[in-house]
Each structure stands twice: as C-alpha cells, then as structure tokens.
Amino acid sequence: MKKTLVALAVAAVAATSANAATVYEADGTKVELGGSLRLFLGKLGKDERGDLLNDKSRLILKASQDLGDGFKALGGFEIRFDNVNGSSDKYKFGDPRTDKLYAGFAHSDVGTVTFGRQATTGDEVDLANNAHIIGDGNNNLNTSGKKVAKFRSAEWQGFSFGADYVFGQANKNALVHGETKYGYGASLFYSRELAQDFLFDFAAGYTKVKTDVGAGNVRPTQTFGSDVQWRAATKFTYGPASLGAEYGQGQLKEGGVKTEENRNLIVSLKYHVNEPIAVYTQWLNDRTKDLVNNTKETKNTIVAGVGYRLHKNVLTYVEYGYTRTKENDQSAERDNAFGVGLRVFF
C-alpha cells in the first residue's frame, strides 16, 4: 500500500509533463503537445469579491530530434492565457502570451543546455510547497528570465546541479534605470531512498541579479543595484506522508548601499489518505526589512487543503488560507482566502 501511494505522489508531481501526447514521431523526430486548464472559484482576500479565476492555465509544445550517440536537439514553447491590455495578469482569462520559448541540446549522460525565455534552475529549489493557489510558495530566488542560458546536469548517484546566466538590456543607447543588466545563479540537487519507502530530497540555490544605472551611463560595466538571494529546501517522504521545509534569505542594494533584507521560511506536511485523496497544510513566514525607512514587515500565512483526484489527469481541491501581517508596532492585519479548484491535465 505504501509503495502504491509513493508512486501516486510521484506521478501527481510529474503530471504536467508526463501527460503530454505525442502528435508526431518519425525518423528520430518527436513532437509532444500537453498542458493544463486550471480554474479556481473563490475569494482571495477581504478586498475582493468571490470570483472565477484562471490559475495559470497553459498549453505546452515540445519537440526533439535524436542526433545519435546520446545527443539530441530540443525546443519548447509554452503559452498562457492571461494577456490583459498588453500585460500579464495570472488570474484573468486573457489573450495568449508567450511564457516560455527556448531551444538547446541534451546528452543523456551529461545534461541539458537551453537558451531562451524559460525558468531558471532556481525555480526547482521548491520542494515543500503543497498549496495550489493560496500561499503558493515563497521562493526568493530569481526563477525565470526572458533571455536565459541554462544548464541542468544529468543525475549521478542522486546528485545533479544547474547553472544559469540571465541576459539584460542590450541597447546601450536606451538603457532603462533599474532594469536587469545581467544575472547568474547556481543550484544543487540530491535525491536518495534512505530505506524502503523512505525518500530524502534536498535542493539549494544561489542567484544574483545586477541592475543598470540607466541613460547616461558612461561605463558599460557600471551597475546601479543588486539582488542577492540564497535558499535551501528539504523534503522527507515516508509511505503516504511527506514533511518539507525551506529557508531563504537575501538583500537588495542600490548604489552600493544595502536597502532591504528578506527572510523566507516554509514548513509543510502532506498525507495521502488513500489513492485519490490527499490532505495538506503549510506555514509560510516572510520577513522584510526596509533599511532606508527603518521599517519591517512580518507576514505569516497558514494554508490547509484537501485534494481529490477524479482521474490521474483530473484534480479537484478545496483550499483555505489565513494571513496575519504586522508592520513595525502597528496592529496586525488579518485576511482570509478560500475556494475550490479544478485542474485538467492533457
């Protein structure tokens, strides 16, 4: 029974990629089409009415060409339906927009290198987050970019690693103050079965993003600000239960002066009652200190939910969240969010 539930949990995590349908395969060429429709009916805060939301629904197209000797060329394209008046609003039913567009090469024994608009390997330092929409994680790393060079190694004895470089503004004659000049990051991953039905996962990451001075910059190498973050995540899975924890912290600088510090913590618990039903809860603690105005904010969020799989490709869930936010010595503000969700993978 425990092995069955472990297999189910792994399958659920991989659902978005495993469910892709092969629409063409011949002469080493493979094209896959997949995605998910994600709906949420509920209320996300006291200042909002109950509403029907689009929770980052997506359509994913992937293609690869076998080059022989373990090598292959690959590419991917992901669109999301949240383009509203030229900008992204992840909860709206909008026009399609490009969320990811990349291409690269892979070797089965070495790893994968890709270039384009994509997630960084820092996005994978996210093991403890069980929530679907309310209190959906607090990953403080730089998790994506419009122009990213990314390497993700193959796994050796449970270990793997990643590295990223983020390209920023290219036109030296029209630099925008505060926009990305360049960024980079590195990550480490480890996964091992410590005993029968007892799994251990670990991930850690570091990212740094530099911003431009802007118009009038006389030195091409000069930067204005920086965002430096690190994070570590662990998860233990035993049979139908899993316990996860993540901690990250970082700092912002402008003109060489430290302006802000942040600390982010998440602790989560999930239990598969039986094959279709899982219950979960998590606590998020986010602390931000404004060093310029000498203010600090502490935000605590508690999330609880129940998920029910009608089919391996169909997930329904009920989710509730309570948030308490306190700034300096002022009275704490409290808020509630709740609702039901549906996700259909294909």
What DSSP string runs through 51-89?
EEEE---EEEEEEEEEEETTEEEEEEEEEEEEEETTEE-
CB 200 within 8 A of CB 223: no
Give pLDDT, residue 214: 73
> To the nearest whole percent, how much of the chain has pLDDT over 70?
93
Half-sphere exposure of 54 (CA within 13 A, CB side): 19
Predicted confidence (pLDDT) per residue in 55-107, tens digit: 999 999 999 999 999 999 999 999 999 988 777 787 889 999 999 999 999 99
| pLDDT band at residue 4 under the 50/70/90 scheme | very low
Half-sphere exposure of 176 (CA within 13 A, CB side): 5
pLDDT at 186 over 70: yes
The full set of domain ranges for the chain reads 2-345
Considering only CA atoms, which of 169, 259, 258 is closest in space to residue 215? 169
Q: Which residue has the higher pLDDT, 192 or 84?
A: 192
Distance of alpha carbon 210 from alpha carbon 179, whole angstroms:
8
Give pLDDT, residue 323: 97
Q: Which residue has the higher pLDDT, 1 or 60?
A: 60
Question: Which range is least confidently modeled, 46-50, 143-147, 280-284, 310-314?
Answer: 46-50
Considering only CA atoms, which of 61, 64, 60, 59 is closest in space to residue 30? 64
Q: Which residue has the higher pLDDT, 298 or 256?
A: 298
What pTM value is reported for the model? 0.89
Give pLDDT, residue 172: 76
Predicted confidence (pLDDT) per residue in 280-295, tens digit: 999 999 999 999 999 9
Give pLDDT, residue 220: 66
pLDDT at 267 over 60: yes
Distance of alpha carbon 259 from alpha carbon 114, whole angstroms:
34
- Tell the CATH topology of 2-345: Porin (2.40.160)
| pLDDT band at residue 223 under the 50/70/90 scheme | confident
pLDDT at 175 over 50: yes
Give pLDDT, residue 15: 46
Give pLDDT, residue 8: 45
Q: Which residue has the higher pLDDT, 158 or 255?
A: 158
Give pLDDT, residue 90: 78
CB 81 within 8 A of CB 54: yes
Give pLDDT, residue 58: 96
Mean pLDDT of the chain: 91
Predicted confidence (pLDDT) per residue in 6-45, tens digit: 444 444 444 444 578 999 999 999 999 999 999 999 999 8
